[in-house]
Amino acid sequence: MVSEEHITAFGWATPQEIDDIMALAIRVNDFLSGLFLGVGIRLVDFKMETGRLCENDMMRIVVADEISPDSCRLWDIKSNEKLDKDRFRRDLGGLLEAYTEVAKRLGILMENERPAGYRSGAGEELRRVL
């Protein structure tokens, strides 16, 4: 694990950038917690990668990677069913179905819609490939 002290000692980020990263992480956590809570999903935790975005003479800290069920732990509020990559990690099956459920709850997919290339049993096939 890399601590703030390591980051500062190696010059990977300034103390101000570390403060900016922490503030951004708190904002993202607050936003995602509310977003998922609104659709009956508990955001247990997430990983977030940040980077520097330079525009003209300005530099700012930004989220530099996707935020998805691959980088979050998402549990159904009522059942505690896992709707994230833990389905794969723990060999629970149903990965594609869980991700589809998250997308439907967020309004990314309509209730009767299926992801492009979806086939019945595709989640099990995907699990075997991964």
Query: 60: domain CATH number?
Result: 3.30.470.20
Q: Which of 53, 51, 57 is nearest to 21 (CA)?
A: 51
Q: Which amino acid is at 39?
A: V
Mean pLDDT of the region 37-44: 97
Question: What would the pLDDT profile of 10-27 be if each residue is shown by its tens digit?
Answer: 999 999 999 999 999 999
Q: Percent of the chain scored above 70 by pLDDT?
A: 86
Question: Does the pLDDT of residue 43 top 60, yes or no?
Answer: yes
Residues 6+ apart with CB under 8 A from 31: none
The answer to whether the beta carbons of residues 59 and 53 sit under 8 Å apart is: yes
Per-residue DSSP letter, 82 = B
pTM as predicted: 0.78
Total structural domains within the chain: 1
Range of the domain at 41: 4-129
Kindly tell me the burial class for residue 99, based on how many C-beta atoms sit within 10 Å of its own C-beta (0-12, 13-18, 19 or more).
buried
